[in-house]
Amino acid sequence: NNSYPGGSSLEFDYYGGYNGKFNDDFGWTVGGHGYAYPGANFNKASLCGTVNGVTTTCGDSSFNSFEWNAGLSYKFVSVKYSRMLTNWFGVSQDMRLNGLPLFNSDSKGSSYLEANVAYEFLPTWTLNLHAAHTNVTTSTTAAFGTAGLDPSYNDYLIGVSKTFDGGWTGSLAWVKASYKNDNYWKPTYSFANTDSLSDPGSGRLILSVGRTF
C-alpha cells in the first residue's frame, strides 16, 4: 500500500452503532468507526534511514484512526457527520523529518460531512449519489516541502446498483475527488515505500459485486 509505508497492504475496518426510526420516513444512526493498518508507520517511509549515503530521521506516527459519527435520514436521502477522536490517519506533529514537524498541529477533530441518495427508480435498480467534504484541522510546515498546504478535500460518486436473487448485488460507480490544495495530494516525492506516484482523486469507474448472507 503506497499510502501507508511499512504496512502489509492491509486495512482493517471495525465499526458499530445503533440505528432507529422516528417514524416510517425519518431515521437516525450513531456509531463509531476504526481504521487499522498493521505494521504501518511513518518512520518506515522509504526516505527514512540511510539512503544513498544520506541519513534522514523520521518521527514515530501510526496511521491507525478512530472516529464517531451521527446521521439522519429521510426516505432515500441521508446525511452523516463523522469526527476524529484520534489524529487523522497519523497526521500530527509527531510526523517529523530530522526533528522538524511536517504539520503545524495535531489533526484531532478533523471531520467528514456527507450526503447520500439511494433512490430505487425501478424494482431492484437503485441510483446512488454521494457528495462529501473532509475538513483536516492542520496544514503543512516548510519541512513538508511547501508550507501552508491544507489536506482537506471533497469527494463525489454517481452510480447504479442492482440486486439479484440469492442475496447478490452488483454496482457500477464513477468516483472523483477535488482538493483544497493540489500540491498536498500530488507532491513531487513520496513518503511511502516506493517512488510510484499517482493522483488518488482522479476520476475512475468502480465495478463491484457482493453478496449478503
Model pTM score = 0.88
Reduced to 3 states (helix: H, G, I; strand: E, B; else coil), residue 77 is strand
| One-letter identity of residue 190 | S
Average pLDDT over residues 27-47: 93
Q: How confident is the model at residue 174 (pLDDT cuts 50, 70, 90)?
A: very high
**Tens-place pLDDT, residues 60-79:** 999 999 999 999 999 999 99
In the predicted model, is pLDDT for residue 17 greater than 60?
Answer: yes
In the predicted model, is pLDDT for residue 192 greater than 70?
Answer: no
Provide the pLDDT for residue 195. 47
Better pLDDT: 192 or 75: 75
Reduced to 3 states (helix: H, G, I; strand: E, B; else coil), residue 167 is helix
- Count of beta carbons in the 10 Å neighbourhood of residue 73: 19
What's the grid cell of residue 132? 462529501
Quote the CA–CA distance of 114 and 33 in Å, as a whole number.
Answer: 15
Contact 45, 60 (CB under 8 A): no
Q: Backbone phi, then psi, for 154, in 5-degree steps? A: -115, 150
Mean pLDDT of the chain: 91
